[in-house]
Amino acid sequence: MPTGKLVRLRPMEPSDAEALWRWNSDPDVMRWMDEGYPSSLAQTVERVENRGRNSYDDVLLGIETLDGGRLIGLVRLRDAEPEIGNAELDIYIGEKDCWGKGYGTDATREICRYGFDKMRLHSIALWVVAENTAAIRVYEKVGFTQDGRQRDAFRRDGKWHDMVLMTMLEGELAG
């Protein structure tokens, strides 16, 4: 299991569904993320139970604290393309009392290390809402660079927001 200084990344279990549903229903957690259409707890349980194995084009891992073994969020590397060695990254820490303690940075670093070392990726990309300053700070600490901006790409509370494209190439991982 990929393990950093503060967290361990591990596969999802059916018993994680309740936490996932709670996080996805929390407007603070989902503020700068696309929450999709509302799902019931039963639908979330079904989705977690029916999820296939992790594979090259979709690696979804729970973020567990090393201190206490508490599940606090998720990371995902998805849509990897072997021809160009690129994948997209998603992360969120669903337990709000764990924000600002370094967990997001540690988890991002470890999933990227996994992508470069184990999956032999050449680059990792992500899109983030321009106002999501905490997330952008995390990505820059780990080694991502801002590559571009798409105007009015995200809508929240009746307003449009720009999204920033960030990428990191193999060899650029910091720490």
Ligand X SMILES: CC(C)(COP(=O)(O)OP(=O)(O)OC[C@H]1O[C@@H](n2cnc3c(N)ncnc32)[C@H](O)[C@@H]1OP(=O)(O)O)[C@@H](O)C(=O)NCCC(=O)NCCS
CB of 17 or CB of 109, closer to ligand X: 109
Per CB under 6 A, does 29 bind ligand X? yes
* Position among 46, 99, 161, 165 found at the interface with ligand X (CB under 6 A): 99
Question: What b/e readout covers 109-142, taking b as 16+ CB neighbours within 10 angstroms?
Answer: bbbbebbbeebebeebebbbbbebeebbebbeeb
Q: Judged by CB under 6 A, does residue 103 bind ligand X?
A: yes
Helix, strand, coil percentages, rounded to 5, for the chain: 30, 35, 35
| Residue 37 neighbours by CB distance under 10 Å | 4
Query: Nearer to ligand X by C-beta: 2 or 104?
Result: 104
- Count, in order, helices (H) and strands (E) of the chain: 4, 7
Token pair in block for residue 24: 């996805």
Name which position in 17, 59, 93, 111 contacts ligand X (CB under 6 A): 93
Site string for ligand X, 45-84 (x = CB under 6 A): ----------------------------x-----------
- CA torsion sign for 142, 56, 67, 44 is positive
CB of 132 to ligand X, least distance (A): 5
32 binds ligand X (CB under 6 A): yes
Q: Under rule CB under 6 A, which residues in 126-165 are in contact with ligand X?
A: 128, 132-135, 137-138
Output DSSP code: residue 55: B
> Where do contacts with ligand X occur on this chain (CB under 6 A)?
29, 32-33, 73, 91-93, 99-105, 128, 132-135, 137-138
